[in-house]
Chains A and B, each alone.
Chain A
Amino acid sequence: MSKYFLNYLDELESEAIFILRECFEQFSNPVILFSGGKDSIVVSHLAKKAFYPSPIPFSLVHIDTGHNFPETIQFRDDIIKALGVRLLIGSVQKSIDIGHVKEEKGKNATRNILQTTTLLNLIDENKIDCAIGGARRDEEKARAKERVFSHRDKAGQWDPKNQRPELWNIYNGKHYEKEHFRVFPISNWTEMDVWNYIKRENMTIPSLYYAHEREVIWRQGAWIPNSKHIIIEDHEAVVTKNIRFRTLGDITITGGIESEADTLEKIIAEVSAIRQTERGSRSDDKRSESAMEDRKRKGYF
């Protein structure tokens, strides 16, 4: 084969870096939405490469639900220090306290949906006009429909029927004041691409992704971690299992899988053989057929 072509991982990386540099040029206050999950870690890594040797010109934004894995918070604080960037935190607890949102009640309550209000308030207060995220089109069917530069109106809403056509690599981020864009540099990556890239780049990721012993409860077809934030019913048993997580979110909704994969090589082997989608163990997506679309329309990440 010809010498002058890129393998697909290099091509995806080059595309993502181009997109990140466009964010810097086209917007006045871009930030990276950082959840502590592998996708936002990859985006931060790409941003480091895009502007090297200058520092990353974006702040990181963490929407803190208050229901976190402690490991996630530790990882977040470490990476902020390592990258030398500013961290903005939006607190869901604060949104609840001041009455902007109301906490769900009951066994399956989650703070996931409440994040939208906290995020939109933070975007508004900090005059953010571009929120860069690690969402991938292969994650979920509504996400498969989204542009790389995705317009949000003044209320932060997404209108899937009124998206700007996006051609070649010419991205249009023009907007009015108070409107903003969500930009997804790794739209075209799959879960496997992300893992292969993490391995290739020798990146550090939270220990939660590796198999480890943990107290869990079997609920809705997934191992939900035991924590002070969940209500355990009488018929439910807390057991200790060898668990790892494929996605990281709010601790109350992130289901783990039983696994022995404690290295990147083993994770890649496991993911390539697995027959369930990555988000199959996320109870927030199971609420209805269009759960993600409905959340996204309102401004969810």
Chain B
Amino acid sequence: MQENKQLLRFITAGSVDDGKSTLIGRLLYDSKSIFEDQLKSVQNTSKKNGIHAINLAFFTDGLRDEREQGITIDVAYRYFLTPKRKFIIADTPGHVEFTRNMITGASTANVIIVLIDARYGVVEQTKRHSFIASLLSIPHIIVCVNKMDLVDYSEDVFNRIINDYEAFSSKLLVKDIRFIPISALNGDNVVNRSKNIAWYQEAPLLHTLETMHISSDFNKVDARFPVQTLLRTQNETHEDHIKYAGQIASGIFRVDDEVTILPSKITSKIKSIDVFGKQITEAHAPMSIAISLQDHIDINRGEMIVRTNNQPKVSLNIEVLLCWLHNNKAIPNAKYTIRHTTNEQKAVIEEVIYKIDIHSLKRHTENKTLHMNDITKVKIRTDKPLIIDSYRKNKTTGSIILIDTITNETVAAGMII
């Protein structure tokens, strides 16, 4: 029954109090993914907080401080299954200071749900989050105009918000944007079609999520295999065999494919592909496999096996759209550890080219200090070459993180241009 079900990962975004947690609570509740004891516990907490109806947000606010302060501090992951698909939800915080957590949730998402409060329309956070979605190449945006009950389910209000959003989103690179009028609190158009919004003829949110075409979201063209670890085995004659284990980043590999190992540029042929001892003739992203080659070649973690006739760039210099994620601002000319696929090097931010004003989406070139939540275009130089594609083409071989060499913390996330 589960055999051919696909996994869809989505995140919710929007301002504080736009009802993200309530929407997720509603999705879980109406799709019957809430258990009785969870319901009872939420009823009790709601009562304790003086709320008579069930506060759906309590289903997702898992930390004590979140329940007490009524806000979402960190990403929470939720899971549910319908007869059509399996879903992973990243419930991300709306507070400005937690944007880094939104980016965390957004990096793996197929779909972003941007919530807009019908009473206030498009606000700065709407633009900020939509822009981040575009930056992270999330292929689909669903704009949910929430709290329609508070504007008398007005079609005019909904249309006005669509117009405002479209005026702003023409600058985004996301091609698939849909709009759904909902009330998460009352359950209008979330799982069930709303009787109050008869003028809206399209599908409710859940049905949209269940039927959206996502198979084309993955790169099946560029065969990239970052070597993660080496598996050494010996046969009866104690001859060493080395298999290169890892997860295919993109594309398809077949036995007998001509491959090139980067950065050394040595070529060979794929001798075998196996998944846990079982030999297969072809494998595709995102499978975790082990490859053996026809020739004995010294290959290490962080190097990449690619098809000879389709190669990525090998470079010490990269241009990156960088999101600064940490309280400590970036230090000019300091060395950071850069992580790219399974490769790790030292790197310096050589130049900040411009900073993006999230509000106007304009580029600023005056102030070049990187603070938390800043999004900038930078030039990075690494000690040893990276094997790269552009992020637009390939999320796995186009993404990097920077790690502070002193604190060990992840301080920035970047998308290679």
- A residues adjacent to B (C-beta < 8 A): 1-2, 4-15, 17-18, 21-22, 24-25, 48-54, 137-138, 140-145, 160-161, 163-170, 172, 174-176, 187-188, 190, 192, 196, 274-277, 280, 289-290, 293
Contact residue among B247, B284, B325 (Cβ-Cβ distance under 8 Å from A4): B284
Question: Given A52, A161, A166, which contacts B276 in the complex, CB threshold below 8 Å?
Answer: A52
Q: How far is the CA of A276 from the CA of B35 in the complex (A)?
A: 5
Tell yes or no: B337 within 8 A of A by CB: yes
Whether B22 sits at the interface, judged by CB under 8 Å, is no
Q: If the complex has contacts A2-B215, A137-B79, A174-B408, are A165 and B36 also in contact, measured as CB distance less than 8 A? A: no
Partner of A170, one of B65, B288, B339: B339
Task: Output the least CB separation between B320 and chain A (Å).
Answer: 13
If the complex has contacts A18-B228, A167-B103, A170-B399, are A11 and B339 also in contact, measured as CB distance less than 8 A?
A: no
Interface digits, B90-107 against A, CB 8 Å rule (1 contact, 0 not)? 000000000011011001
Segment 340-375 of B: residues with Cβ below 8 Å from A: 340-342
A142 to B62, CA, bound (A): 5
Chain B residue contacts of A274, Cβ below 8 A: 35
* Chain A residue, CB-CB nearest to B249: A169
> Is A165 a contact partner of B247 (Cβ separation < 8 A)?
no
Give the residues in chain B near A196, CB-CB below 8 Å.
Answer: 2
10 contacts between A and B (CB under 8 A): A7-B4, A25-B342, A144-B62, A167-B401, A172-B339, A192-B81, A274-B35, A289-B41, A289-B45, A293-B63
Residue among A11, A53, A276 with the highest chain B CB neighbour number at 10 A? A53
Query: Are B399 and A5 in contact, CB atoms less than 8 angstroms apart?
Result: no
Taking a contact as CB atoms under 8 Å apart, the answer to whether B79 and A190 are in contact is yes
CB–CB A138/B79 < 8 A: yes
Indicate with 1 or 0, residue by residue over B224-246, a CB within 8 angstroms of chain A CB atoms: 00001101110000000000011
Interface code B262-293, partner A: CB below 8 Å = 1, 0 otherwise? Answer: 00000000000000110000001011100000
Instruction: Kindly specify which of B69-77, B200-208, B311-319 makes contact with the partner chain.
Output: B69-77
How many of B's residues come within 8 Å of A, CB to CB?
Answer: 70
A-B contact count (CB 8 A): 170
- Confirm or deny: B301 has a beta carbon within 8 angstroms of a beta carbon on chain A: yes
Q: Are B399 and A289 in contact (CB under 8 A)?
A: no
Is there an interface contact between B107 and A168, defined as CB atoms closer than 8 Å?
yes
State the Cβ distance, A268 to closest chain B Cβ, in Å.
10
B38 contacts the other chain (CB 8 A): yes
B-side interface residues toward A, CB under 8 Å?
2-7, 35-38, 41, 45, 60-65, 67, 73-79, 81, 86, 88, 100-101, 103-104, 107-108, 215, 218, 220, 228-229, 231-233, 245-247, 252, 276-277, 284, 286-288, 301, 325, 337, 339-342, 395-396, 399-401, 403, 408-410, 413
A168 touches B64 (CB 8 A): no
CB contacts (< 8 Å) of A169 on chain B: these are 108, 247, 396
A163 to B215, CA, bound (A): 32
CA distance A168 to B339 in the complex (A): 11
Q: When the two chains form their complex, are residues B7 and A8 in contact, meaning their CB atoms are under 8 A apart? A: yes
Chain B residues closer than 8 Å to A141, beta-carbon distance: 60-63, 76
Most chain B Cβ neighbours within 10 Å, of A163, A165, A187, A280:
A165
Q: Please report whether the interface of chain A is mostly helix, strand, loop or mixed according to DSSP.
A: loop
Taking a contact as CB atoms closer than 8 A, the residue among B7, B220, B245, B247 that contacts A12 in the complex is B7
- Establish whether residues B288 and A7, one from each chain, have CB atoms under 8 Å apart when the complex forms: no
CB-CB under 8 A from B247, the residues of chain A are 14, 17-18, 169
Chain A CB within 10 Å — which of B79, B100, B400, B409 has the most?
B79
Return B99 CB to nearest CB of chain A, in Å. Answer: 10
CA of A192 to CA of B396 in the docked complex: distance in angstroms? 29
Given known contacts A17-B288, A25-B229, A289-B41, A172 and B77 CB-to-CB distance under 8 angstroms = no
Closest A residue to B404 using CB positions: A174
* A280, chain B: closest CB distance, angstroms: 4
Contact A51 B231 (CB under 8 A): yes
Cα distance, A18 to B108, chains bound together (Å): 15
Contact A164 B410 (CB under 8 A): yes
Taking the closest CB of chain B, its distance from the CB of A173, in whole angstroms, is 9
Distance to closest chain B CB from A226 (angstroms): 24
Residue from the list A6, A54, A164, A172 in contact with B231, Cβ < 8 A: A54
User: Is B107 a contact partner of A21 (Cβ separation < 8 A)?
Assistant: no
Question: Which residues from B are CB-within-8-Å of A192?
Answer: 81
> Is B339 in contact with A293, judged by CB distance below 8 angstroms?
no
CB distance from A294 to the nearest CB of B (A): 8
Query: Which of A137, A167, A174 has most B Cβ within 10 Å?
Result: A167
* Chain A contacts for B60, CB-based, 8 A: 141, 144
Cross-chain contact A172 with B62 (CB below 8 angstroms): no
- B301 and chain A: residue at smallest CB distance: A25
CB neighbours (8 Å) of B77 from chain A are 137, 144, 187-188
Of A7, A14, A22, which is within 8 A of B2 by CB? A7
Most chain B CB neighbours (cut-off 10 Å) among A9, A142, A169:
A169
**9 A-B pairs with the lowest CB-CB distances in the bound complex, closest first:** A141-B62, A8-B7, A174-B408, A49-B276, A17-B288, A167-B107, A280-B37, A14-B288, A290-B64
